[in-house]
Structure 1
Amino acid sequence: MNRTDRLLAIVLTLQSRKSLRAEDLAAEFETSVRTIYRDMQALSEAGVPVVGAPGTGYSLMEGYFLPPVSFTSEEAVALLIGTDFIGRYFDDRYGSCAETSRRKIEAILPENIRTEAGKVRATIRLLSESREDATGEYASLGKLRLAVLQQRKVRLRYIRIAPGTHGEQRSDRIVLPYGLMLVQGKWMLLGYCELRREIRHFRVSRITDLTLLDEKFHLPDDFDLQAYSPPDDRNQVVIVQASLAIADHLKDTGNFYLDRIEEQEDRLLLTLRVRKPEDVLSWIMSYGANMNVLEPAVLRERVREEAKKILEHY
């Protein structure tokens, strides 16, 4: 890193932190403490309000910010696509902020960078469910985001589709919202359910009658949303024989319960791990005669029963 780049990096680093010692800066930029002293002198002479305090280190005078930095076309595209993503997948408040952020970014870009970024951006398209089709989900998302930030309990009605059936199960819950996750384009609420007495996942699109309660809660000290991994309770094994004709489709689409695909001479042997056999009933039947359940016997019988119903219907 040359000196000019290092001086800029030092200012950006000090902007993001309260204070740093010369030794810390020297270690971060892989240089000597004496060089850092000279850099600080150069910044002061250039008009950057660097404040040094014995025992504390260097900091920037409160309220000082660098003027807008320059972006390459690739960096500009990354930022603009980020605003597009937030505008599509977040609630109205963040969607509005994303729009104003996009305008500000475009306003400070040189014309040649803005033009080049526009060309690249035109070749990328984000597809998602329209806001008109998901009005309730976006409304719930805004409330849930507020509940997470304020650590307030919520009351909700959750609609669950029972595996292997077309019926809906509705239940009223009190939930301590720990965080929100975007999983394959679908928003999920992660929180402690007082009814089930454990951490559960709720698809936001299936939440209705959402109410923020005044009652507060404390997030567990050992909970980290970024590191959280749900316990794997798929303890039952399902073995399915599948036609080679659907091999590519299976590999492309996958399935949450699919544990292993073994390619044999004239067929595929699928091993699935499920909570209960009905979890994969609809998925197996969607492939028709291209799938044949080998075990367990109870699932083979369920497939046979459903096939008879279809035959009787037609």
Structure 2
Amino acid sequence: MNRIDRLTAILTHLQSKRTVRASELAARFEVSLRTIYRDVRSLEESGVPIIGEAGQGYSLMEGYRLPPIMFSREEALALLVAEKLVEKSLDDQSSKFFKEALIKIKAVLKSSEKDLLAEVQDTIQVLKSSSSKIMNRSSKAFQAILQAISEKKVLSTTYVTFDPEQMSVRDLEPIGLFHSYEQWYMMAFCRLRGDYRTFRLDRFSKLQVTDISCSTSKHPSLQSYLDKIASEQKLHQIILEVPDGSLKYLVNSKYNNGFVSEERVGNKTVMTFMNSSIEGFVRWIIALGDMVVVMEPDLLRNRLAELIGEIKEMQRD
């Protein structure tokens, strides 16, 4: 990148946030801090009103731009969600181009919208994504949760648990959203249970933002909560061997069960999963019993044999 292009890109980057540190610019353009200082000084000498604050970074004087379009609060949040999804969904090169384009789009946002994105940036994460539809029935809940997070408001909800399937009314203080295995989840403080819980978005039959403010601003961050879950869960590596003719029956559900990778071996596919629940996994594959071979672990193979035996006994009765 020549210096003229870099100066233009720096100006665009400065418009994408309220403040930008020199170290951030240096890392993005792969140049030294001294070069960034020199470039900023050149922009100032050309008449660009850059404000430098010690320990804070650079910012542009409010109003220095002529935005061709204006974004609503909801559209600004949608940009952030798209950025998180694309980061995990595209190849490295396409992801890089998308981020460059997004920076240019963010440059026209008002300061209040930039502040909003900075505030909710770490409350949304994508742990694993696939090419299939990922929002489906969760979309309305998703927008309400984003609103509640940004406004720090309590959510009034009706939630249907999975096992056993029961409906409960809960007031929730949302902390963040994360996407994993083709589903969106919300981490929230549940006032009913007095503790933090994880909720799957498509299991809300009602979700409404209230006028009640959250009880505290000292909730743990989303990342610290996810780290805690990961440390508490013991993940089992599961390897299945699947003949070509049976592979199609696993395509739509493999991501919901911890799919990691697959490898072609002759006329079969060896699939690797990471899953914390042997019982849950075995009850999934029992429906595919004549289509897959459990290669490991022995714990899963033995439990599958036990469950088949239990089914036989039930049928005799």
Tell me how large the CA RMSD over aligned residues is: 5.4
Q: Secondary structure at the match of 1:161?
A: coil
Equivalent residue for 2:257?
Answer: 256
Equivalent residue for 2:221?
Answer: 223
Deviation at 1:255, TM superposition (A): 6.1
1:140 and 2:137 are equivalent in the alignment = no
2:158 alignment partner AA? R
Query: Which piece of structure 1 moves more, 29-38 or 281-290?
Result: 29-38
1:12 and 2:12 are equivalent in the alignment = yes
1:200 and 2:197 are equivalent in the alignment = yes
Q: Which has the larger radius of gyration?
A: 1
The two structures have a TM-score, normalised by structure 2, of 0.53
The one of 128, 131, 139 equivalent to 2:133 is 128
The one of 146, 170, 178 equivalent to 1:173 is 170
Deviation at 1:190, TM superposition (A): 1.6
Aligned 8 A contact 1:158 1:206 in 2: yes
Equivalent residue for 2:102?
Answer: none
Equivalent residue for 1:2?
Answer: 2
Deviation at 1:191, TM superposition (A): 1.5
Deviation at 1:64, TM superposition (A): 0.9
State how far apart, in whole Å, the 2-side matches of 1:187 and 1:228 are.
Answer: 14
The one of 166, 188, 192 equivalent to 1:191 is 188
Q: Which runs of 5+ in 1 are unaligned?
A: 70-78, 87-104, 106-125
State how far apart, in whole Å, the 2-side matches of 1:271 and 1:175 are.
Answer: 32
1:4 alignment partner AA? I
Deviation at 1:66, TM superposition (A): 5.5
1:301 and 2:302 are equivalent in the alignment = no
Q: Which runs of 5+ in 2 are unaligned?
A: 70-78, 87-104, 106-130
State how far apart, in whole Å, the 1-side matches of 2:37 and 2:230 are.
Answer: 52
Q: Secondary structure at the match of 2:198?
A: strand
Aligned 8 A contact 2:259 2:271 in 1: no
Aligned 8 A contact 2:175 2:219 in 1: no
State how far apart, in whole Å, the 1-side matches of 2:25 and 2:147 are.
Answer: 37
1:207 alignment partner AA? F
2:184 alignment partner AA? W
State how far apart, in whole Å, the 1-side matches of 2:52 and 2:134 are.
Answer: 53
Q: Secondary structure at the match of 2:178?
A: strand
1:173 alignment partner AA? R
Q: Secondary structure at the match of 1:217?
A: coil
The two structures have a TM-score, normalised by structure 1, of 0.54
Equivalent residue for 1:209?
Answer: 206
1:202 alignment partner AA? F
Q: Secondary structure at the match of 1:174?
A: strand
Assess, with a 3 A threshold, how the Cα gap between structure 1 residues 56 and 127 changes in structure 2: closer, same or farther.
Answer: closer
Equivalent residue for 1:285?
Answer: 286
Percent sequence identity over aligned pairs: 24
Aligned 8 A contact 1:147 1:154 in 2: yes
State how far apart, in whole Å, the 1-side matches of 2:55 and 2:235 are.
Answer: 61
Equivalent residue for 1:43?
Answer: 46
Aligned 8 A contact 2:181 2:257 in 1: no
2:307 alignment partner AA? R
State how far apart, in whole Å, the 2-side matches of 1:193 and 1:239 are.
Answer: 33
State how far apart, in whole Å, the 2-side matches of 1:302 and 1:159 are.
Answer: 27
